[in-house]
Amino acid sequence: MRNNYWSCSKLADKIRITKKPKSATATEWANWKVKAETEHPIRYWIADEGLDHLQDFVFWIPNRLHNIQSYIDNRFISKTHALVAHKNHLKRGQWCDVDNRMLPCLFDSLVDFVETDLAPVACYNNENYKIPFWYKLPFAHWRSRDAGIENLKWQMALIKNEDNGYYDKNDSEYGKPTEQAKNAKEILDLYLWWKDIYPNRPDPYDISEWSAYCEEKRSLRKDKDLLASFDDQDDPLELKEKGEKALELLQKIEMEYENEDTENLIRLIKVRHSLWT
């Protein structure tokens, strides 16, 4: 993947005449392509295919070296062929069932997308963010929460106009948020949920008072082993009622958390087509 394409340059726009959008949906790109090819077919070929062929020829050797480097990085470092959870969520070398892998693997991949894929792009759009000098080194990776969020905020501000899709002022959609802007907001919401809300949810054992109930039972049976300490045959009625109430609330909270996790997993799946740069 190149850092820049001659077919996306200002020169290409001048050759083509029909200006290429800065961002657009798949449908908008298709409409733009039909318009550009129809109005100036020869100029379109020169700008969008001829310049690409010329760039491939000029950079043939650098491209081959870059392809080798990319393969090594993708295969052994970035591991872009797999969904891998961060080590603080799933311990390396320990068994984990598939159902428990899905949530952290998918959302940690979302975090990587925001903090490593989108972050460098923000540096091209905002002078407040600078790519470290060592980022250009082979196999170097740079992670930035702030820069990734900044990129999403930039996308969220995109509106339908002459630059972002083929729209003019007479179009009913003119000035409204683009699909990219809507998807960026959804991505940011999911990212912030996983990073800030999910890890800070109150422990259901604590807020249901199940932990306090268990501790009280242990204190009443210090002379018995752990399993015997949960035999409630001789428990006071008040403690039994406390345990029943705590267990009911615990199950309710755990189900609410489970439903929240499932809902956000579904949201992530729905927005998956926007997770690319």
* Domain hosting residue 168, numbered range: 83-200
Residues 122 and 142: their CA atoms lie apart, in Å, by: 12
Q: 237 and 129 share a domain?
A: no
Q: In this structure, is residue 275 part of a structural domain? A: no
Q: How confident is the model at residue 1 (pLDDT cuts 50, 70, 90)?
A: low
Q: Are the C-beta atoms of residues 23 and 155 closer than 8 Å to each other?
A: yes
Report CA Rg, the chain: 27
Q: In this structure, is residue 67 part of a structural domain? A: no
On the question of pLDDT at 253 being above 80, the answer is: yes
Q: How confident is the model at residue 100 (pLDDT cuts 50, 70, 90)?
A: very high
Question: Helix or strand or coil: residue 177?
Answer: strand
Q: What is the pLDDT of residues 169-210, one digit of tens each?
A: 888 889 999 999 999 999 999 999 999 999 999 999 999 999
Q: In this structure, is residue 73 part of a structural domain? A: no
Residues 41 and 45: their CA atoms lie apart, in Å, by: 6
Q: 88 and 193 share a domain?
A: yes
Alpha helix (H) residue ranges in the chain: 10-16, 26-39, 41-45, 51-58, 60-72, 98-112, 119-125, 145-156, 179-192, 204-207, 210-220, 237-270
On the question of pLDDT at 219 being above 70, the answer is: yes
Choose between 201 and 230: higher pLDDT.
201
pLDDT reported for residue 189:
98
pLDDT reported for residue 30:
86
Q: In this structure, is residue 277 part of a structural domain? A: no
Domain count, the chain: 3
pTM: 0.81
Nearest to 131 by CA among 111, 112, 116: 116
Q: In this structure, is residue 136 part of a structural domain? A: yes
Q: 38 and 113 share a domain?
A: no
Q: What is the pLDDT of residues 70-99, one digit of tens each?
A: 899 888 888 889 999 999 999 989 999 999
